[in-house]
Structure 1
Amino acid sequence: MIKDDYFLKFEDRTPPPPLPYSATRESLWQFLAVLALVIGGWYIWWRWTGSLNPDAMWFAVPLAIAETCAYIGMLLFVFNLWKDDPIRIETPPAVLGDVAPDHPEHDRPISVDVMFATYDEDPELVRLGIQDAKRMTYPHPIDIRIHILDDGRRPEMRRVTEEEGANYISRTTNEGFKAGNLRHAMEETHGDFLVICDADTRPFPTLLEHTLGYFRDPKMAWVQTPQWFYDLPEGEPLPDKLAQKFGEKGEKIGHGVEKVIGPVVVGHDPFVNDPKMFYDIIQRRRNWANASFCCGAGSIHRREAVMEAALRSFGANVEKRTWAVEETVTVSSKEREVSPELMQAIKTEAAATEVLTPYKFHVSEDIYTSIVLHSDRERGWKSKMHPIVESKMLSPQDLLTWTVQRFKYAGGSLDILVHDNPLFRKGLTLPQRLMYATTFYSYLAPLWNVIFLFAPILYLLTGISPVSAYSSEFFLHLIPFLVTLELAMMVGAWGIDGYPAKASYLAFFPLGLKAIWTIMRGEKVTFKVTPKTRQSGNFLALVRPQLSVLVLTLAGAIWAVGALVIGGTDHSPSGVVANILWGLNNCIAMWGIIAAAIWRPAESSGASEEAKTA
């Protein structure tokens, strides 16, 4: 039995459908986005030329810089979301020749290797994934082989694998972590396509039937499917939650609140794990630029593309090593040329030192490998974000797990930005560069988000203003920008609640700053397996910075209101109101992650019985 079976009660859940395509809505989004950009540009220009407080430039300039940086991020985000494509499922290929026309064995059935990468997860959890993979269907004869890639080298994992009739693969070291695990498995397998699964991935029967059709295009290198966390808490309606605490009066208050702002659910998705914004909006709208990147689990890869990219990268790296050694030899020996025999020895040594790996040995191996494939201009490899959920997996169960995962994403992306910036990588098209720039730029946002969080606190506590005056002219520039921006984003992400993602983006600042500092210091971001079971403990220590924002904003609001009543300060009524509202928005964003630190999942029936027995 699985050690922690709380999620078994979610087995009957079905994933939400993909967001439908609408040409009318897309045109409206593009119109509103352009309008917001024009008004935003007007606002930024005015901020620099007509609104800076000359008596507090130390405050005014950093805030204006932060607003400018955020506007640049907005430009990139609009470019990312600019265009969508209608949903279309390609016809499943019947034989290998349908996806590889030049292959000598074009008449044989397609072969697929389904790979589950595991390290220390519960073998019984992996068993569920194996059983689901065995249920995959296909309209034509197909050779599906399931492999368990166990980097933990556990006898119990081997036993489960053999009981389910799958192939057990392990290795003597953990070099390269997940990327190294996949590389070793590719040496042991021969499928035409690879399905990459994490230990908790549960593939649906339609996964291959709905995705292999994209590979009719011989340049299609990989297809990513949306990741869906099937165990996300559904939460409770606000009236029901308040009724539990305060009885009938609480229920009435809850209904009153919902009449004003609409339905409110408490406890839904406490860690903002629902990835619909990322997959249904951000990733899907990169298809037009051939810039949707691989996200690991739930992706299908053409073996030829992955191996060819590995060989090209291997050859390029060997050449770089050879040039470096040749330069050192010529400088030290003061000879113009190196003898052919020595050059051959240098090349041999460089080839022996370099590691041939299909997936980059990196904490963010999925996006890194995507960049390598996309930049292969000679082959012109393509990618596709498939719109339909084809598997399910477990969400992070606690704030510690969420923190480990998010830090890995941020640190890994920033490491690529610093050491192999895709903006300057040969082979990528301009749209692809901008799409990758959008991703990496977003991880720099904590640098200016921290200014947005503490700017209203500073004004409320001191009365020092970053603008010349909170006048009608100020609001005349600001409010149209905020309104048009909100309208544009609402239409662009129609069908998805965008506020939780925006709040998480803002509340991410301590972890983001830590990742930036780690990379600036030259430290290596190590790979840590995301736990698949809930970690025990008090997680409030992880949200001290967010708590500080909350407390300081509240203290500032009380102080500023008192200052207005008493007088004798530089506070203005319009400035206090504007900054309290600004601070309130920040506090609401911070509260989400603070609540996540104290959230506890519903107790499973099994756990309840154990407690009673004890």
Structure 2
Amino acid sequence: MRFYFQQFENRRPPPPLPHSPVIELIWQFLVVVALVLGANYLRWRWTSSLNMDALWFAVPLVMAETLSYVGLVLFTFNLWKLRDTPRQAPPASARDCVHDTPDFERPVALDVFITTYSEEEELVRLSIRDAKAMRYPHALDLRVHVLDDGKRAAMRAVAEEEGVNYITRSSNIGFKAGNLRNALENTSGDFIIICDADTRLFPTFAEHTLGYFRDPDVAWVQTPQWFYDIPEGIPLPVYLRGKIGRPGEWLGRAVEKLIGEYPVGRDPFINDPKMFYDIILRRRNWANAAFCCGAGSIHRREAVMQAALRAFALSVDKEVSRYAKDIGDAEIRADFSDAMRTQVILETEFTPYKFHVSEDIYTSIVLHNDVDRRWKSVMHPEVESKMLSPQDLLSWMIQRFKYAGGTLDICFRDNPLFRGRMTPAQRLMYLSTFWSYFGAIWNLMFLAAPIIYFFTGIPPLSSYSESFYWHAVPFIVVNEIAFMFGMWGVWQWEGKASYLSFFSVNLRALWTVLKGEKIKFPVTPKERQEGNFLRLVIPQIVVSALTVAGFVFACFRVFGLGVSEELPSLMVNAVWAANNVLVMLPIIRAATWSPPEEDAAGMEAAAAGAKQGAL
């Protein structure tokens, strides 16, 4: 059977971004200056710029700016410095990974869990073979397990043909988390690698990650996820040369001198996770706050089980106390609690992996919050596996909705920020994660503000005078330059654009959680879903259309009707509106994107040849 991604099999992942102490120092200096300028801007906004005749508009906007600034402070803390955990030599035996225990003088036992539900069996076969091909410099007790929640005879046959263990269960309770729990009960490895059906482990995975567990307090290691089927696009000079000849090539080169490389047709769904893993999560290592992201992670069984047992005991005690708290007599209350505890234990689920759509970050929170053990996490910087990206907007939105809804559900239902043993730095890191999803609220205000002005002629500021430029422009310019250094090596515009254009997905997730509905566990499709998905981007289309229509209306009012005093407001809001429309366009384009009919590998080879010829 031939899959579309087989033409990309020879692709190799990019190396981790190098650490430059000089660039880091420049970033830290500039971002402190930017934060000071931002605080001064907000002081001016609250005290000297509000349109007192339109507080209904002015106050929500300045509130949005203030909340956004809080997010900027948290994001700055997240990116503040890079301190990778030193990689150690692979352990020769299980004894190297625990406190001095003679009984562990044996090979490390490593379980690989490949979770599957409805994915193509031959796709899973590829993951099985890559897991079996891992190399290790010492004896290794490697056991590969296919965790099939689809209960498929064909999947069982593939597992038997490949000589690996097949595990299924009678019900699908808890979905992926329940699937993992069932596998834990039926295996015994010291460490567990978690894979999705399409996770293709590199031969170096165990060799490069198990060394971290020489520290007996390391609970898990997360490796970067790399989507090797993302379209790489065509360099802008090559693309423009094909359209308008040599002048197009010159124009493309000039543009790239200003903004850096810009491949046309690259990653229409902004799936490239490099910014998240190589910048955001990697820079949480110094605070011991890198959380688990599921596939591509390796866990110490002892940590998962110990934390689960403690959470189970606390859950039982909490339930018993709920019933016994109103009994006044201490002796009767104690007898009742003892009798009640047995019943509650029988009725309470033991869940090593929380039955939750975001079981990965949930497990991270439980371990980081352990009251008796300072469990550590590691974000390993090098890519050690490859997987498939969503190939259409529907799959993309299913995935993003799960991420947003799951994280917000944890924030509201089981917030870790005010309990447990997390350090202040860990709490701030998790707060940064939660806060980013609330950003949809103030992002909606940022999208609506120019539209409101265009149609009403009412500015949120008392005037766009010279004072506005002196307070706003330095903050914006220094902030942009600071984050250019803070994210050195990553194309950051796409991340900013997606953060703003995600507003509808994140708002829907927030509303779902606030209504008390559970976020569902749909499997992200591994094959392209056919069809036109413009219906999914109606909010982005509406925002863009209203912005353009409002701008035309405002221009008519200013130039057609001669309301010249509005010109400064129109100019500022026109720039603002242009940015809003530009960030909406990629997701709108993604709704109609389909892979080119030509062979993608051939196209990339042609593009590379054209680029070489141009040089």
TM-score by length of 1: 0.95
2:17 paired with 1:23: no
Letter in 2 for 1:524: K
Hey, what's the Cα distance between the residues in 2 that align with 1:582 and 1:503?
Answer: 13
Letter in 2 for 1:92: P
Match of 2:596 in 1: 602
Q: CA deviation at 1:247?
A: 6.8
Q: CA deviation at 1:21?
A: 1.1
Match of 1:126 in 2: 124
Hey, what's the Cα distance between the residues in 2 that align with 1:268 and 1:170?
Answer: 39
2:343 paired with 1:349: yes
1:481-525 CA-to-partner distances (Å, cap 9, x unmatched) read 001111111101000011101100000001111111111111111
Letter in 2 for 1:27: L
Out of 580, 584, 587, the residue aligned to residue 578 of structure 2 is 584
Match of 1:289 in 2: 287
For the 8 Å contact 1:560–1:571, the answer to whether it is kept is no
For the 8 Å contact 1:96–1:105, the answer to whether it is kept is no
Letter in 1 for 2:55: M
Out of 178, 181, 189, the residue aligned to residue 179 of structure 2 is 181
Hey, what's the Cα distance between the residues in 2 that align with 1:38 and 1:570?
Answer: 35
2:533 paired with 1:539: yes
Change over 3 Å in CA distance of 1:571–1:529 after alignment to 2: farther
Hey, what's the Cα distance between the residues in 2 that align with 1:570 and 1:87?
Answer: 60
Task: Give the 3-state SS of the residue equivalent to 1:105 in structure 2.
Answer: helix
Out of 222, 227, 241, the residue aligned to residue 229 of structure 1 is 227
Letter in 2 for 1:33: V
Out of 142, 145, 149, the residue aligned to residue 143 of structure 2 is 145
Q: CA deviation at 1:237?
A: 2.9
Match of 1:469 in 2: 463
2:454 paired with 1:460: yes
2:511 paired with 1:513: no
Q: CA deviation at 1:367?
A: 0.4
For the 8 Å contact 1:150–1:169, the answer to whether it is kept is yes
Hey, what's the Cα distance between the residues in 2 that align with 1:318 and 1:123?
Answer: 40
1:241-285 CA-to-partner distances (Å, cap 9, x unmatched) read 456666777667656655654543221011111111111111011
Hey, what's the Cα distance between the residues in 2 that align with 1:509 and 1:413?
Answer: 15
For the 8 Å contact 2:27–2:486, the answer to whether it is kept is yes
For the 8 Å contact 1:6–1:605, the answer to whether it is kept is no
1:219-259 CA-to-partner distances (Å, cap 9, x unmatched) read 00000000000000011233544566667776676566556
Larger mean Cα displacement after TM superposition, 242-251 or 589-598: 242-251
Change over 3 Å in CA distance of 1:227–1:319 after alignment to 2: same
Larger mean Cα displacement after TM superposition, 81-90 or 294-303: 81-90
1:275-306 CA-to-partner distances (Å, cap 9, x unmatched) read 11111111011011100000000001000000
Hey, what's the Cα distance between the residues in 2 that align with 1:354 and 1:570?
Answer: 70
1:150-179 CA-to-partner distances (Å, cap 9, x unmatched) read 000001111111111110000010111111
Out of 54, 57, 72, the residue aligned to residue 55 of structure 2 is 57
Change over 3 Å in CA distance of 1:120–1:468 after alignment to 2: same
For the 8 Å contact 1:96–1:103, the answer to whether it is kept is no
Match of 1:320 in 2: 318
1:37-59 CA-to-partner distances (Å, cap 9, x unmatched) read 11100001110001001111111
Change over 3 Å in CA distance of 1:467–1:603 after alignment to 2: same
For the 8 Å contact 1:241–1:266, the answer to whether it is kept is yes
2:481 paired with 1:487: yes
Q: CA deviation at 1:30?
A: 0.8
Task: Give the 3-state SS of the residue equivalent to 1:311 in structure 2.
Answer: helix
1:441-489 CA-to-partner distances (Å, cap 9, x unmatched) read 1000010001101111221222110001111110110000001111111
Hey, what's the Cα distance between the residues in 2 that align with 1:549 and 1:267?
Answer: 24
Change over 3 Å in CA distance of 1:586–1:498 after alignment to 2: same
Q: CA deviation at 1:83?
A: 1.4
2:437 paired with 1:439: no
Task: Give the 3-state SS of the residue equivalent to 1:423 in structure 2.
Answer: coil
Q: CA deviation at 1:537?
A: 1.3
Match of 1:611 in 2: none
2:332 paired with 1:338: yes
Report how many residues are paired: 601
Letter in 1 for 2:446: F
Larger mean Cα displacement after TM superposition, 50-59 or 99-108: 99-108
1:107-148 CA-to-partner distances (Å, cap 9, x unmatched) read 111010011011000111111111111111111111111000
Match of 2:191 in 1: 193
Q: CA deviation at 1:88?
A: 3.7
For the 8 Å contact 1:21–1:86, the answer to whether it is kept is no
Match of 2:421 in 1: 427
Task: Give the 3-state SS of the residue equivalent to 1:113 in structure 2.
Answer: strand
Task: Give the 3-state SS of the residue equivalent to 2:318 in structure 1.
Answer: helix
Hey, what's the Cα distance between the residues in 2 that align with 1:251 and 1:497?
Answer: 21
Hey, what's the Cα distance between the residues in 2 that align with 1:35 and 1:402?
Answer: 37
Out of 370, 375, 388, the residue aligned to residue 369 of structure 2 is 375
For the 8 Å contact 1:291–1:435, the answer to whether it is kept is yes
- Structure 1 unaligned blocks of 5 or more: 609-614
Letter in 2 for 1:108: R
Match of 1:218 in 2: 216
TM-score by length of 2: 0.94
Hey, what's the Cα distance between the residues in 1 that align with 2:301 and 2:565?
Answer: 65
Change over 3 Å in CA distance of 1:455–1:250 after alignment to 2: same
Change over 3 Å in CA distance of 1:359–1:67 after alignment to 2: same
Larger mean Cα displacement after TM superposition, 466-475 or 241-250: 241-250
Q: CA deviation at 1:335?
A: 5.6
- Structure 2 unaligned blocks of 5 or more: 603-615
Percent identical: 58
Match of 1:523 in 2: 517
Task: Give the 3-state SS of the residue equivalent to 2:192 in structure 1.
Answer: strand
Change over 3 Å in CA distance of 1:552–1:339 after alignment to 2: closer
Hey, what's the Cα distance between the residues in 2 that align with 1:109 and 1:261?
Answer: 52
Match of 2:83 in 1: 85
For the 8 Å contact 2:405–2:519, the answer to whether it is kept is yes
Change over 3 Å in CA distance of 1:580–1:95 after alignment to 2: same
For the 8 Å contact 1:21–1:87, the answer to whether it is kept is no
Letter in 1 for 2:221: V
Hey, what's the Cα distance between the residues in 2 that align with 1:493 and 1:348?
Answer: 54
Q: CA RMSD in A?
A: 1.9
1:386-426 CA-to-partner distances (Å, cap 9, x unmatched) read 00000000001110001101111111111111111111122
Letter in 2 for 1:14: R
Task: Give the 3-state SS of the residue equivalent to 2:125 in structure 1.
Answer: helix
Task: Give the 3-state SS of the residue equivalent to 2:166 in structure 1.
Answer: strand
Change over 3 Å in CA distance of 1:491–1:447 after alignment to 2: same
